Each structure stands twice: as structure tokens, then as C-alpha cells.
Amino acid sequence: MRRRGSLPGRREAVMPARVSHLVWLGVWLVSAVAIGAGTPLARAGKQAITLALHWSHQGYFGGYYVADKQGFYAREGLRLGFIEGGPEIDATTPVVEGRAQFGVAPASDVLLARAAGKPVRAFATIFRRCATVYVSKADSGITRPADFVGKTIRITTVDPATFFAMMNRAGIDRDRYRTVIIPSDIRAFASGAADVWAIYVNNFAVILEQAGYKLNYIYPEDYGVHVYGDVLFATDDLIASNPDLVLRFLRATLQGWEIAVEEPALVGSLVRSYAPQADAALETLKMRATQTLVNTGEDRIGWMREDRWAQTAEILREQGALSTPVKLDDVYTLAFLQKIYGAALESH
């Protein structure tokens, strides 16, 4: 049984960020020259760009706020604005329609959008672990999928395929448990409206623990379900026609995320710059709960692997969400990460 004391069983995996702040300065200088883009500091004015979020402003978007407020986008000649998301809002739509140059959304959303004919392509993965976790009250005795038998499980409309994939891999048929869709509400959790809740480890789980609840955590990846969470994406046209813009945006973003992971205490007050009603202390806790999703102790922040994308597609097909063939080469590209981290290696 794991509780959030080790967040939740994950903080021990946090490793020091791979690239120091001084090295990142070298990354910026070297890669800017390497692509022939010139020095961003020399550019007159700032180019306005927009990032479409898949939810409202939260602590788990901390890397973008750090990059914005510490001037990393400005250093690249950029001025960042946001479009907020929320329930039933598809973050790919503003990007496809041209209202935003970049978007952040779950990997499964980008893959399904591509399969539906939307010309979107991921160029970095920020949450290299899925944020979805399954929780029960600590005294419930529910600590693994086998304990879900005969129970009511709260699932979400955002990522139901991950849940059913976990249960399938645990060998538990759907007729052995009941699923419901209810809002993330503390009163509903307290009332026992469901025995197990699918929630984000860096959002509602933090809220529940702040309210005093002790929780058991069940992770899909412990049962063979390895999928990415938030990824950054743009349209094929932007990637092809303005790769310099994508590179500059990503370079600043990765630097922001590195610092947010190293210094999560910075994030809470920054969230209030975009959402004045936010509780800074709570948003800092959300960023702390995001650390091990971003810096997993393997590869570099933002890096992507084909096997993770392949499993995401496989899971979506298993659950009937994906019926159209899709080439993974059309879903994501490593080109920009390779340029940035290649420059990092050269700068040592």
C-alpha cells in the first residue's frame, strides 16, 4: 500500500536535472548559432505566440509560467499568451484553427486527432508519465486492481482507455465491477459515491490530501500500462514552414520546466499572475506532485520513445477508440529535441 508520503511512492525516482542553468545558457547560445537563426537578443521586438492549454491555469503547468516570467521566451524573441482549456474543450482545435501556434494535451488526444485527419504533430513530451492515478481511502483495503472486484469505480471521460487497459492486463473482466462518471468533488468523495477514483495525481489527489484524506494509490504503469501524459504539439504546416519558431519556443519551455522541477516553490505565486484567485500554496503542491512526471530519471526532459507512442495506439485500438490506421512518424517528431540536446552535449 502506497500513500503520498513518497509522492506517492515516486519521489525517490527524482534525479537532479540533467542540464544545469549555466549549461542551458550554453544550449541557447550554441543552438541559436547552429541553426543560423542569429542571436535572439538581437531581434527587434517580440513575436507574439499563443499556447493552448488543455485545462485552466494550474500549478502543473508550472514550466510555462517559469519560462514566461523569468524571460526565457523573451530571450528567444517571443511573447507568450495562453488560451485556457477545460471540460469538453479540445486543445487541438485552437491550434488547427490557427488561434494558437502551440498546444499542450494528453498524448492520446494528439494521436486520436491525427487519426481523425487533423494535421497535428507532437514535438516534445512534458509529462513522461501519465498523471492519472486510482485512489481509495486508506482504510478501505483497496490497494490493487484485484480489489476493484464488486466495487464502484469513478472513471473520467478524459482517459477511460487507460483504466480499462489496466484492468485487462490485471485479468479482470468488465462485468466484475461498476463504473460511474461523477465530478471531482470532495463531498462526493467523502460520501462514498465511488470506492475507487480515477484522478490526476497532481490535481485532485493534492486537493484531497490537503483536505486531510489518507489515500491508497494504484498506478497504471505498475500493471504494464505505460503511456505519456501532456505533450507539446503544433501543426505540420508550422513545423515545416517555421521550424525556427518551434525550436525557440521549445528551448525556452524546456528551460522553464527544468527550473520548475528543481524549484517548485517558485510556481505557486506565478500561477496567481494568470489566475489571481488561485491558492499559491496549493498550486505549489501541485507542481511538487508534477516533478516525477516531468523528470522521470530516464532520458532528458521532453524526450519521447516510439514504444510509448506505440502502446498508446495499441491501448486505444483495444478499447475501440482508435479504428483508423495511423503512422507514428506522422504523430510525433524528435527533430527539435535532437537539435536542442545535441547542442547541450556540444556545450560541455
Please give the biggest Cα pair distance in the chain: 64
What is the full DSSP assignment across 96-130? HTTS-SEEEEEHHHHHHHHHTT--EEEEEES-SS-
Instruction: With beta carbons less than 8 A apart as the criterion, state whether 105 and 89 touch.
Output: no
Ramachandran assignment for 141, one of left (phi > 0), alpha (psi -120 to 50 degrees), beta (any other): left
Percent pLDDT > 70 in the chain is 86
Cα gap 19→31, rounded to integer Å: 15
In a domain, 2, yes or no: no
Cα gap 213→190, rounded to integer Å: 9
Q: Residue 85 carries which DSSP code?
A: -
Q: How many domains does the chain have?
A: 2
Residues 87 and 30 in one domain: yes
Pick the last residue of a domain from 189, 223, 257: 223
Residues 175 and 321 in one domain: no
Q: Which domain holds residue 28?
A: 14-129+228-346
Give the pairing type, strands 215-218 and 196-200. unpaired
Cell numbers 508520503: residue: 5
Cell numbers 486527432: residue: 113
Residues 115 and 237 in one domain: yes
Pick the last residue of a domain from 167, 188, 223: 223
Tens digit of pLDDT for each residue in 2-51? 333 333 333 334 434 434 443 444 444 334 433 333 334 434 589 999 99
In a domain, 42, yes or no: yes
Residues 72 and 107 in one domain: yes
Residues 253 and 153 in one domain: no
Cα gap 315→108, rounded to integer Å: 9
Residue 176 above 90 pLDDT? Answer: yes
Q: Give how far Cα 112 sits from Cα of 46, 92, 107, 321, 345, Å.
A: 34, 10, 9, 8, 34
Percent pLDDT > 90 in the chain is 80
Pick the last residue of a domain from 223, 242, 266: 223
Task: Quote the pLDDT of residue 343.
Answer: 59
